[in-house]
Amino acid sequence: MISISIIEEIRTIINVEDSFKEQVKKVFVAYDCLSIYEHCLEVAYEAKALANTYGEDANGAFRAGLLHDIGGIVPNENRVSVATQLGIELYEEEYIIPMIIHQKISKVIAKEIFHIENPKLLTAIETHTTLHKQPSTLDHIVFLADKLKWDQTGEPPYVDELRAAMQQSLEQGSFYFVNQLYHSPSLKIVHPWLREAYERLKHMNV
């Protein structure tokens, strides 16, 4: 059963007369997560620009970018219980590293609160941390926009190499990042979707 929980709570914050962007901002602000909103806004504009470049739905990419981290309003320690309340199925790896669950919670909020019904947008949101075994162009766009406009200060140290890889293709860009992540000594647990993304993109790069 979905508890009164997060979905009902967020509904009390939303004013449907506000613009989409303003509604999203109000939710982040209500949960004291303005810095995540600022990151999401940068990701949204980057995703929109990439979508224009690659002939994808720019408005959809913007909305997916703006919502990709909205699950971040749920603190790490509550993510397992909130996901359970929302009926989200969790992998064993997600119980160990609940940080990753934010992408799945973002998808539910996007659907339930912001009425995103397009499965392509929902998947791009849901897999922006890990990708998955068959990423669409939009999945690559949201994934890469998130990496280009990371949630820490300054430019990411890898940004030039990532942009260079993206010059070849979106897949090469994603492979650049996934490959680094997959082999990073700090990656203690490999999410099954990340493994599948790695295997697929590696195969494409052989």
C-alpha closest to that of 63 among 9, 24, 16, 15: 24
* Cα angle 183-75-65, degrees, rounded to a multiple of 5: 65
> Considering the rule CB under 5 A, would residue 146 count as an interface residue with Fe ion?
yes
> Considering the rule CB under 5 A, would residue 94 count as an interface residue with Fe ion?
no
* Pick 46 or 69: Cβ nearer Fe ion: 69
* Max Cα–Cα distance, the chain, nearest Å: 51
Specify whether the CB–CB gap between 199 and 174 falls below 8 A.
no
C-alpha closest to that of 93 among 194, 197, 192: 192
Neighbours of 72 (CB within 10 A): 23
> Considering the rule CB under 5 A, would residue 69 count as an interface residue with Fe ion?
yes
Min CB(71)–Fe ion separation in Å: 8
Interface segment toward Fe ion; rule CB under 5 A; list 7-15, 56-64, 66-74, 78-86? 66-74
Specify whether the CB–CB gap between 120 and 60 falls below 8 A.
yes
* Pick 139 or 146: Cβ nearer Fe ion: 146
> Considering the rule CB under 5 A, would residue 126 count as an interface residue with Fe ion?
no
Min CB(206)–Fe ion separation in Å: 29
* Pick 147 or 200: Cβ nearer Fe ion: 147
Min CB(62)–Fe ion separation in Å: 14
User: Which residues make up the interface to Fe ion (CB under 5 A)?
Assistant: 69, 146
